Structure formats: C-alpha cells, structure tokens
Structure 1
Amino acid sequence: MNFKYKILGLDRYDNDVDQFINIVNSIPDDPSDDIVDALFLTFSNEDDFGVQEKVLNKLDQLSNNKFISGLLRNFHHLLEKSSEQEWPLLIIGRYINADDQTRIKEIIKASTENLELSNFLRSDYFQDEYPIEI
C-alpha cells in the first residue's frame, strides 16, 4: 500500500494513534518526496491532541533541501487546511524560536519562489508573532 494512503487513512486521533506514531517514527532519515508530502498532508483543522508533534519532530530532522522542497510543494495545502493558518505559523515559527538561522534563511529564500509563502511571511498575522526581515 502507498505510504501516503496508509498514513492519511489512519484515524490518528482515536483508534489508530499508536499505529500512526509507529509509522512516523519508522520513517527513514532521508525519506522520499512522497513521504515528505504525506507528512505535510497530515496537518488539518482537527484537534490533534499533540499527535502532530511527532510529525513536526520528523520534519525537523529533514535536510534543509528536503524540508524546503516539501514546504513549497505543500504550502497551499497547509493554508487551505488550516483555516486560522495555525499550522503554517507553527511550522515556520518553531525555527525562529529555535534560532535556526540556516533554516530561516532557506525559508525566506524559498519564499521568492512561492507567492503564497511570501505573502504569508509578510502578513501582519505572521509578522505580529515573528517579526523577521523578509
């Protein structure tokens, strides 16, 4: 079964929490783009009861190139599936909080290729939380 359909088909907030966490934990250090995309696609408006923290940790472990490529491919989904734009704010903001200058610079650089990302980083919503120079 395709990894994307397997992980997205789980009821990760109820009966399949342990299975979801085990699958996320088993993802290799250098996953395929399909796996990276599936991780980004797990974010939604549903209350996640902390389960998404495992996904965030896995995203943190990705190389900058893998992370940025995945973010660019999936940023529209993050905006669309997060009506209050909480997930894009948290996903990007965690690198600012951690003072991860390399990843922050890569995100800003990538925003030149993605108008939605650029607009989000420049938005009052984002800048009020994370006033960074774009």
Structure 2
Amino acid sequence: MSSESLHPTSAPSRRTVVAAVGAAGLALTLNACGSDDDGSAAASGTALAKTSDIPEGGGKIFKDAGVVVTQPAAGEFKAFSSKCTHQGCAVTGISDGVITCPCHKSEFSVSDGSVQKGPATQPLPEQKITVSGDSIALA
C-alpha cells in the first residue's frame, strides 16, 4: 500500500461532515414544517361540502382535508380530525351515530367526538368549520 492510501489528504474533517449533515437535516425539517403539499390538511376557508351532503345522525369523511363533518341533529354541524387518537389510523366509517376506525375498531360519537368504544381513550379533536347558507368550509 502506498502512503497516499493510508493518509488521504482530501477527506473532509469530522466537523465538516457533522455540520453538513446537521444543516441538511435542518433544511428538511423547515421545509416539511412549512409545506402543505402532502394534502393532509386543507387550507382555512376551503369549502368542504354542501349542508345537504351531510346526513342527519351521520356524517362524511373528507380524506384530503383530514376532517370528518357530522350532523348530529338537524341543522347542527360538527367537525373532528379524521385521525384516530389510538394509533393515528384514518377513520373510514360513519353509521349509527358513531365514527369508526378500521384499525382496532375504536368508535367515536358524531355529536362530540367522544370515545364510545376503545381501545382509543381520547376523543377525536374538534376542528373549526363555518356554515354559511348551504356551504360548509374549514374555518
């Protein structure tokens, strides 16, 4: 072996490598925090549905917006996160007054998002919506 291969002169120092990796990680973190490009949340003011689209005693899941809109009683509209509080699965069903998670069968009330059946122990977080005429939008 030559002495050149044992003592490379062009290799970056450990400090340079650590600084570069840290800067790259920070750039990725800042980009991820400031971006809604993944479609997981709709922008504020985004129209979701017409009031007639939401069945009384039931609701509708808006996957792209990450929200469930319900109508527990005639003319009363509520919205909740569509992410189950147990392990973060997206809820997929609404029937008989409950919102259901397919992963472990947790059930949540269409009225207030409270847990009706575990394993979830926390309610679905409420989301803000506005109802104007016959239009429902994220607030």
Q: Which has the higher strand share?
A: 2
Q: Which structure is larger by alpha-carbon Rg, 1 or 2?
A: 2
Q: Which has the higher helix share?
A: 1
Same fold judged by TM-score > 0.5? no
After TM superposition, the score normalised by the length of structure 1 is 0.26
